[in-house]
Amino acid sequence: MLNHMDENELNQNQLNITLKHEEQEAEGISIPVTGIFRCLKRFAIGWIVVAILTALLVAAGTATFSQQLSSAPVSLIEFNYSGAEKGLTPDGKKLDVNSIKNPTVVEMALTKMGYPLEYVESVRSAITIDGIVPEAAVDEISVYKASYEKSGGLPAAQAMLEVEYFPTQYRVTFNFANTPFGDDEAAKVINTVLECYRIYFFETYGSNNAIGNASLALDYNDYDYLVAVDTYSETLRTLQNKLTSMSHADKSQFRSTQTGFSFDDLKDSVETALAYDADTLTAYILSNSVVRDKEGMISYYEYRIEELERTKTSAVSQLNTIEESIEKYEKNAVVMFGGSEEDAASYTKASSKYDQLFIQKNEAQEQVSRYSQMIAECEAHLESVKKLGSRTTDADKVAYVEERLVQLGEKVDQLVEDVNATVMEYNESVEFANAYTVLVPASVLSTSYVSMLLQNIMKPLLLVEAIVLLGYIGISVVKAFVIAYGQKKEETEASAKA
């Protein structure tokens, strides 16, 4: 009986201990939600004050230390000359639009504005140039896209990806944030760069087709008279070919204000000098045997003929290559012709390339014809020199030839000067007047200052305000736990005393 009572009492004690232990665990994981909300409400005013002060400080700091408070100035430029739509320069090479920001142009602009040249690299790196897709290419892509959406065929998709185009308009952006310039200076800098590029463009392409003065600084101890006349004749033929290309219907009406000549006037003068002065003097030299070294002249013309034959062979090979390419494109055009819009676009594309090849063919044929003419003239001179008698000793004839050579040289010099001056004036005032144009100058919009400032502020402001908010919540939670812990401790002590 006694043992049975002791066992029951022991079980009750163990049960009480277990129940108290569970009560302590339950009390240990309780979260004072009500207390947290009270603390959030208690510290709300302080949080709002701190948030406002932080926003003001961030805004002031951003406005003080931010270099760029406006949008990057953007300009629109256009190239408009024969070959620009094919991605070529006026001299037929590949157009590199990044030449707009080459060091020469940027240095020219900075010097003009009075800035140190140490800014060159920062300005160059801040300029970005993006091409605008031409409308013709957009239309062609639209044709293929419509065909692809209709049929879902892979050939249409492939053709759409292979559309070839070259922009003639470009968007030039000056991201000046990392440059030494502020908002007001940025637009002036990029506009000056674009203006200086106009000068660079004309100096590079507007004068590259000027004809050099190939007249001899004659020394009759080094050159034979016939060689001198041949050299003058070659210069006159070069002028003649240049003027022939310039005297088309659209250019024939041009008259230089500097020289007073049109291209037709100059062409007539060159042809007269070639037929009367040069050819007449050549005939006089041959008919009167006014030569210094007959054997030397024979060797000269034999070597000259060999050189021209080699050059002609190369020109003929190039002509044959172009003709083969034309034949291939003609076959492709027949195969690609059809009734659908896609086939029509392909046929148009092939026709454009065919036209380009046909122009190249005409130029190659002209080269071959020119070399053939030069070879024929050298062969005629060679035969004439071989038939010459002994060297003339007539001083009057020698003096006459030398006098006529001086006159021919002066005339060639003057013609070269007049042709170059007229061509340069035409290029500057007509041919390249609109070859490079700034369609829309860069500018800084005053309305963009506020938006740009807000854009610069937003990221740091959101970051700082998030930190302030987390601090506010963290402090409220900690304070609520501290208060709850204090209250619980007081209740425990009070119950213990009771």
The tens digit of pLDDT for each residue in 213-234 reads: 544 455 555 678 888 888 888 8
Tell me the per-residue pLDDT of 388-437, one tens digit each, with 9 for 90 and over: 766 656 788 888 988 898 899 889 989 999 998 888 888 888 888 888 88
* Residue 358 structure tokens: 């046909």
What are the angstrom distances between the C-alpha of 323 and each of 101, 160, 313, 364?
A: 40, 29, 15, 10
pLDDT of residue 32: 78
pLDDT of residue 146: 56
Rounded distance, CA 439 to CA 175, Å? 19
> Do residues 342 and 147 lie in contact, with contact meaning Cβ atoms separated by under 8 Å?
yes
> 123: pLDDT confidence band, cut at 50, 70 and 90?
very high
With a CB cutoff of 8 Å and minimum separation 6, the contacts of 437 are: 77, 78, 80
> Do residues 270 and 418 lie in contact, with contact meaning Cβ atoms separated by under 8 Å?
no
- Looking at mean pLDDT, say which of 21-30, 140-149, 319-328 comes out highest: 319-328
Kindly report the average pLDDT of the chain as a whole number.
Answer: 76
Q: How does strand 74-79 pair with strand 169-174? A: antiparallel
283 or 18: which leads in pLDDT: 283
339 secondary structure, DSSP code: S
Count Cβ atoms within 10 A of the Cβ of residue 349 and give its class: 0-12 exposed, 13-18 middle, 19 or more buried: middle
Closest alpha carbon to 201 in 324, 305, 108 = 108
pLDDT average, residue stretch 177-195: 87
> 122: pLDDT confidence band, cut at 50, 70 and 90?
very high
| CB atoms near residue 290 (< 10 Å) | 21
What are the angstrom distances between the C-alpha of 201 and each of 21, 62, 157, 400, 497?
A: 92, 41, 39, 47, 100
123 or 245: which leads in pLDDT: 123
Farthest-apart Cα atoms in the chain, separation: 171
* Residue 90 structure tokens: 């006026």
Closest alpha carbon to 409 in 282, 236, 287 = 236
> Do residues 71 and 445 lie in contact, with contact meaning Cβ atoms separated by under 8 Å?
yes
390 secondary structure, DSSP code: S
Count Cβ atoms within 10 A of the Cβ of residue 164 and give its class: 0-12 exposed, 13-18 middle, 19 or more buried: exposed
pLDDT of 484 > 50? The answer is: yes
* pTM of the predicted structure, to 2 decimals: 0.57
Closest alpha carbon to 419 in 202, 229, 242, 208 = 242
> Do residues 215 and 409 lie in contact, with contact meaning Cβ atoms separated by under 8 Å?
yes
Query: CA angle at residue 194 from 190 to 196, to 5 degrees?
Result: 115
User: String of b and e for 293-332 (b: at least 16 CB within 10 Å)?
Assistant: ebeebeebbeebbeebeebbeebbebbeebeebeeebeee
Closest alpha carbon to 173 in 117, 123, 109, 106 = 123
Rounded distance, CA 228 to CA 183, Å? 63
pLDDT of 7 > 60? The answer is: no
pLDDT of residue 454: 64
Tell me the per-residue pLDDT of 65-89, one tens digit each, with 9 for 90 and over: 555 445 788 899 999 888 888 888 8
| CB atoms near residue 449 (< 10 Å) | 14
> Do residues 369 and 338 lie in contact, with contact meaning Cβ atoms separated by under 8 Å?
no
Tell me the per-residue pLDDT of 359-391, one tens digit each, with 9 for 90 and over: 778 878 888 888 888 888 888 888 888 877 666
pLDDT average, residue stretch 107-115: 94
pLDDT of residue 429: 84
pLDDT of residue 498: 63
Rounded distance, CA 346 to CA 336, Å? 7
Rounded distance, CA 251 to CA 239, Å? 16
Give the distance from CA 43 to its chain's centroid: 60
pLDDT of residue 217: 52
pLDDT of 290 > 60? The answer is: yes
- Amino acid in the structure at residue 474: G
Query: CA angle at residue 95 from 91 to 101, to 5 degrees?
Result: 120
How much of the chain exceeds pLDDT 90, in percent? 13
pLDDT of residue 273: 92
pLDDT of residue 43: 80
Helices 154-161 and 135-151: crossing angle in degrees, nearest 10, is: 160
Lowest average pLDDT, out of 175-184, 202-211, 482-491, goes to 202-211
Beta bridge partners of 399: none
Tell me the per-residue pLDDT of 133-154, one tens digit each, with 9 for 90 and over: 766 555 555 655 555 555 655 5
Rounded distance, CA 231 to CA 405, Å? 11
> 292: pLDDT confidence band, cut at 50, 70 and 90?
confident
Beta bridge partners of 76: 171, 440
pLDDT of 458 > 80? The answer is: no
| CB atoms near residue 417 (< 10 Å) | 13
pLDDT of residue 275: 87
pLDDT of residue 347: 45
With a CB cutoff of 8 Å and minimum separation 6, the contacts of 73 are: 173, 174, 176, 186, 187, 190, 442, 443, 444
